[in-house]
Amino acid sequence: MDLTLRESMARRLHRRSIVASTITLPAVPAMIDEYVQMCDSIFTAVGRKFSAEQLDNCRQVIAGQLAIAYERSPRSNIVISIEAPIGTVLNYHVKAEWYTVEGAYANWLSTREPPLFGTEPDARIWALAGEAATPAECPVLDIGAGTGRNALALARRGHPVDAVEMTADFADVIRADAQREHLDLRVLTRDIFTTADDLRADYQLILLSEVVSDFRSTAQLRALFELAAAQLAPGGRLVFNTFLARDGYEPDDAARELGQQVYTSIFTRDEMTAALGGLPLDLIADDSVFDYERANLPAGAWPPTSWYADWVSGRDLFDLAPEQSPVEMRWLVYGHRTG
């Protein structure tokens, strides 16, 4: 059969299709070209190729909803609904949807099998706490405590622990376990940065595990450093894990935005230094999370979850081999300067 005839028949075949589809994607405004290209490919594949003018209008609609969703939350999507009857018409609708960060984590409890974050405390945190000869004299502040993987283990060791957790369902899990075991563990259900009135000023250890990876700005980093400077006792330690850009890599808007959607917020070392400026905190350790946890977790505890090794290597953001990823999660330890 003549190729032209075959192609003409194919056009008729495609136009006999009845299309109903919904596509949900993370909201990443800087990647607008990818959304438009995907829609163009889908519309063309079902025999409803858009003109340049129609496609430009589609771009504007998608861009507007991307901006709304991303501004509302780093746990946001756009939903593209497509309907096409027999013929050449295709209707589409784009809407934004989002969770709060705490709402997204609360959803984990109903959709994922425990343990959500592993069963053992982080090896880096456990090692720092282990430097205290007398745990009862080493109070701990666990910010973003999750379901208590670190807080409960430290309280069992004898540390007085304050656990701050925004997600009420997570806080309830910690509180129930602490009460059942009669642990010296106080649970505060709130945003740590709203007030410091109920915090101690003599913590020996302040920790954030898998929390800074949800930060959206360097202003949040600054707030963290200021809180640590105010609430740590002299000689105390601040420890957190965060995704740092490797030397020579400057993340663009697309990487930062998609990173926030996949729990991989990126900071550069220059941004860390600037956020710390003028405060009595000194960087005393900088370790690869992947290497440290793999080497120091108890036998059988690595990896803590099925997703952990890829995530800390930056592979939730970059579909590359770990050694090719331009970011990796690092453990940063700061000491509160004395004198």
CATH number (domain holding residue 28): 3.30.470
Which amino acid would we find at residue 44? T
| Strands 327-336 and 75-84, sheet pairing | unpaired
Give the pLDDT band (50/70/90) at residue 112: confident
Same domain, 149 and 223: yes
pLDDT at 116: 73
Same domain, 256 and 162: yes
Which residue among 98, 131, 149 closes a domain? 98
Which residue among 66, 98, 130 closes a domain? 98
- Per 3-state DSSP, what percentage of the chain is helix, strand, and coil (rounded to 5)? 45, 25, 35
pLDDT at 102: 77
Same domain, 10 and 131: no
Q: Which two tokens stand for residue 323?
A: 């050694």
Same domain, 146 and 272: yes
Which residue among 98, 117, 140 closes a domain? 98
pLDDT at 201: 96
* 87 DSSP 8-state letter: S
- Name which of 250, 245, 241 is nearest 308 in CA terms: 241
Which amino acid would we find at residue 162? D
pLDDT at 339: 63
| Strands 203-208 and 232-245, sheet pairing | parallel
- The Cα–Cα gap between 149 and 134 comes to 21
Same domain, 234 and 256: yes
Number of domains in the chain: 2
Determine phi and psi for 176, rounding to 5 degrees: -65, -45
* 250 DSSP 8-state letter: -
Residue 30, domain extent? 3-98
Q: Which two tokens stand for residue 47?
A: 């025999």
Same domain, 285 and 304: yes
Helix (H, G, I), strand (E, B) or coil at 207: strand
